[in-house]
Amino acid sequence: MKKFELLKIIFQRKDYTLAEKLCTSKVDDDSLKMLARVLFFERKYERAEVLFKKLHMFTEYGYCRLFQNDKKSADMVWFAIKDNSPLIMWAKALSGYIEKEQRREPTFFQIRNFYESDLDSFLTLKMTKYAENLINSIQYFADINPEVYKFTARVLYNHGYLNLAEKFLKTAKEYFYEDTELHVIDAQVRLAQNEPKAAIKALENALDISPAYYPAKKMLLNIK
Q: What does the pLDDT read at residue 205? A: 96
Low-confidence ranges of the chain (pLDDT < 50): none
Taking the whole predicted model, whether its pTM rises above 0.85 is answered as yes
Q: What does the pLDDT read at residue 27? A: 57
**pLDDT tens-digit readout, 50-109:** 999 999 999 999 999 999 999 999 999 999 999 899 999 999 999 999 998 877 889 999
Q: Which CATH architecture has domain 153-224?
A: Alpha Horseshoe (1.25)
Rounded to an integer, what distance in angstroms lies between the CA atom of residue 105 and that of residue 111? 10
Q: What does the pLDDT read at residue 26? A: 64
Return the domain boundaries, the chain. 1-56, 72-145, 153-224
Q: What does the pLDDT read at residue 201? A: 96
**Alpha-helical runs (H) found in the chain:** 3-11, 16-25, 29-41, 45-54, 58-66, 71-78, 86-97, 108-110, 116-124, 128-136, 138-142, 148-158, 162-176, 180-192, 196-209, 214-223
Share of the chain above pLDDT 90, in %: 79
Q: What does the pLDDT read at residue 11? A: 76
Q: What does the pLDDT read at residue 2? A: 63
